[in-house]
Amino acid sequence: MIGTVASASRGVAPLLEVAALTKHYPVHRGIFGRAQAHVHAVDEVSFDIGEGETLGLVGESGCGKSTLGKTVLRLVPPTAGTITWRGKRIDNLDAGTMRSFRRELQAVFQDPYASLNPRMRAEDIVAEPIRNFEDGTVAEIRDRVRTLFEKVGLREEQMRKYPYEFSGGQRQRLGIARALAPKPKLIVCDEPVSALDVSVQAQVINLLIDLQREFGLSYLFVAHDLAVVEHISHRVAVMYLGRIVELASKEALFANPLHPYTEALLAAVPIPDPKARRKRLILAGDVPSPIKPPPGCRFHTRCPYAFDRCRVEEPVLKEPAPGHLVACHLREAPETTSQRPSTSREGSG
Ligand code: SF4
């Protein structure tokens, strides 16, 4: 696969493979409503996710990470590129054929209150996807729902309640139970804890990790909070203006970020150790418009290391270290890496 490290080479069976996936939204202006421009939400993104693996997807608000999650789920149609699920392309399937794959691809969203039908009891919210995909008696389905409530830490007596009667954390547990109901293989988690209190965040993240171990789930975990992503992910992809600029194992990315944007994101994360030092890299300027991304490297308008080539030539993902992909001209030729210091986290002292 182009631009990513195939699961097979990591000893993980590939489940989802995405190649050059692109999603552009037309911007209509004028009395005839013709598309005058396009929002480049996702541009030629490639990655894969293995069985039982969590790929974290990080970046600032508006970088395209949520759109990427929705496109992978086929909630919005891709503009170009391919999505392969267990060896079969699903990006070109019609809605009817896609339905049989929906069972295996589920989602947990940021705002469970908005994604749960307020007029349905919790029991029916979780039972609905089971009824959609399976045959079963009322008693059998009720048993399944009861078990799912137990798995996500909800009580049986809460099955008769409506979403407004749950706390934020409980509602997210309900959303997770609903996602688990059709026995999925992969769940796209789109900022699943960012609306929750910090203490509840940890509980929900640990629940997701426990469920992954128990059911062998894979996650595409979309978040802007790097501490959360570091906790739950096996590998991490960093997005900037619709493109993946760095992808590596969690350990490699957090210990030795190779892209200046990743470096800046990490520099903004507080370290819970008063003796620890981290090099500060403050980003200048605003995120450019995704309607007209800058030429060359999309990050060059904010990058402290930008040089002439960056303004005219877009870097492609290269693999300077095994399994560590980065799109930056500084990382292509060894002689140019001296233009910037090492980005490793500095030790204590
Ligand atoms: Fe910065 Fe140039 Fe690397 Fe882009 S290619 S991140 S502008 S050094």
3-state helix, strand, coil in the chain (%, to 5): 35, 25, 40
Number of domains in the chain: 1
Domain range holding 212?
A: 2-104+184-337
Amino acid present at 1: M
Residue ranges in the chain whose pLDDT is less than 50? 1-3, 335-349
Ligand 1 lined by 332 (C-beta under 6 Å): no
* pTM tops 0.75, yes or no: yes
Ligand 1 centroid distance, CA of 340 (Å)? 11
Nearest to 246 by CA among 181, 303, 317, 315: 317
| Residue among 238, 246, 258, 297 whose CB has most ligand 1 atoms within 8 A, to mutate | 297
In a domain, 233, yes or no: yes
pLDDT digits (tens, 9 = 90+) for 252-289: 999 999 999 999 999 877 666 666 665 666 777 788 98
- Give first-to-last CA distance, the chain, whole Å: 43
Taking a C-beta distance cutoff of 8 angstroms, is the pair 180, 149 a contact? no
Q: What is the 3-state secondary structure (H, E, C) of 160-202?
A: HCCHHHCCHHHHHHHHHHHHHCCCCCEEEEECCCCCCCHHHHH
Query: What pLDDT does 336 receive?
Result: 42
Ligand 1 lined by 141 (C-beta under 6 Å): no
Taking a C-beta distance cutoff of 8 angstroms, is the pair 184, 28 a contact? no
Amino acid present at 59: G
Residue 262: give its domain's CATH number. Answer: 3.40.50.300
Query: What pLDDT does 22 receive?
Result: 97
Classify strands 243-249 and 218-222 as parallel, antiparallel or unpaired: unpaired
Q: Up-side HSE of residue 184: CA atoms within 13 Å toward CB?
A: 29
From residue 333, give the alpha-carbon distance in Å to each of 103, 299, 325, 329, 341.
46, 19, 14, 8, 15
Query: What pLDDT does 135 receive?
Result: 85
Q: With b meaning 16 or more CB within 10 Å and e meaning fewer, what string describes 270-300?
A: eeeeeeeeeeebebeeebbebeebbebbbbb
Ligand 1 centroid distance, CA of 75 (Å)? 33
Q: Which residue has the tokens 């080479």?
A: 9
Ligand 1 lined by 287 (C-beta under 6 Å): no
In a domain, 146, yes or no: no
pLDDT digits (tens, 9 = 90+) for 218-245: 999 999 889 999 999 999 999 999 999 9
Query: What pLDDT does 34 receive?
Result: 73
